[in-house]
Amino acid sequence: MSKHLFGLIVTSHGSAANNRGENEGNITTLQKLLWNGEVHTTVSAEAIRWAIRYYWQRSGKRVNRVWHEDANDHAWQDEDWLPWTDPTGKGKNQETFIDDDVMGFMLAEAGKSEGNESESKDAKGKKKQRVKGTCDKRRGCLEVTRAISLTPFTGDITFNAKSGEKTSTSLYGTEVHATRYQYGFALSPEWLREKPRALDVVDAVVSLAEVAGNQSRFLYDFSPDSVVFRWTDDFAPRLLYGFQLDAEGQLTIPDILRRVKSNDVDPKELIVGGSISQFAGGNELKEKGAAVYEGVKAAAEEVKHRIKEALKLN
């Protein structure tokens, strides 16, 4: 049976905002959604995936989609995603980039035909040849949820002024939310072409920096304050969005504890790290057999060790 890696990340408390872009209106907004009956801010899964890819690029990994800071744009190493051939000596092997392998890709091209529907036959009355659309794709092995704020958004806005010509001043506002964010991810290493890249996923999620913003970026540390990994045969995560704050603003994990007590989650599958280890939830998980560490990096090393053992990696 294949193994699956699930993770739940919560950031430190910080001030989230989107700095003003080139063509923004008078208010620079944060993305929002209705969560448990209240408005919360959110960061898209695409932004998190972008940050993971950028971390790999800065770490020296070979990525297909390379970000160029000066041009404020990306460039493809291989935008055709040439077919991969199995490294058995048959044919030529095509390099697989880490982002293509882990996150997948898709290039869809529309079908082509001569004329239109009302001109579907040529002069001899024969049907015109149509070329079907094509789609080159690989499903991503890494799945990432949206990041949701732990506290509701109360509508905080800062107002700013930008001077232009001598007689003109531009007034604009920026939505700001002081909060933590939590998000989850899932990975099945058996689906990877190069299984050791599961370790690179763990390294990335514990080392993310900023994940959003326009060309003038704000700094919000998206590295984990606390993390819960689950290395399991189970196909379901059963721990996504498991962090909450109590009345004193401390991290709690009541839903994860409930699932452990009901035997839906085996505590021995859990690796916990960060400040949650100092609170009641972390101590209770440790008593039940979970591996609990004071630091997120120590927890990451433990889950990487288990991955190496299970996949027989050197």
In a domain, 121, yes or no: no
In a domain, 126, yes or no: no
- Mean pLDDT of the chain, nearest integer: 85
CB 57 within 8 A of CB 66: yes
In a domain, 115, yes or no: no
Domain of residue 205: give its range: 4-108+133-163+172-311
- Predicted confidence at residue 241, as pLDDT, reads 97
Q: How many structural domains are present in the chain?
A: 1
- Predicted confidence at residue 131, as pLDDT, reads 61
- Predicted confidence at residue 20, as pLDDT, reads 53
Chain Cα centroid distance, residue 132: 33
In a domain, 306, yes or no: yes
Burial of 26 by CB count in 10 Å (0-12 exposed, 13-18 middle, 19+ buried)? exposed
pLDDT along the chain (314 residues), means of 10: 94 85 66 96 93 94 88 79 57 73 73 54 59 63 97 90 67 88 97 94 94 65 97 97 95 98 98 97 97 98 97 88
Instruction: List Cα–Cα distances, 221 to 10, 67, 180, 227, in angstroms.
Output: 11, 20, 10, 14
In a domain, 120, yes or no: no
- Predicted confidence at residue 139, as pLDDT, reads 74
153: CB partners within 8 A, 6+ apart:
30, 32, 39, 40, 41, 175, 177, 179
Nearest to 145 by CA among 187, 104, 177, 107: 187
- Predicted confidence at residue 68, as pLDDT, reads 86
15: CB partners within 8 A, 6+ apart:
176, 177, 178, 218, 220
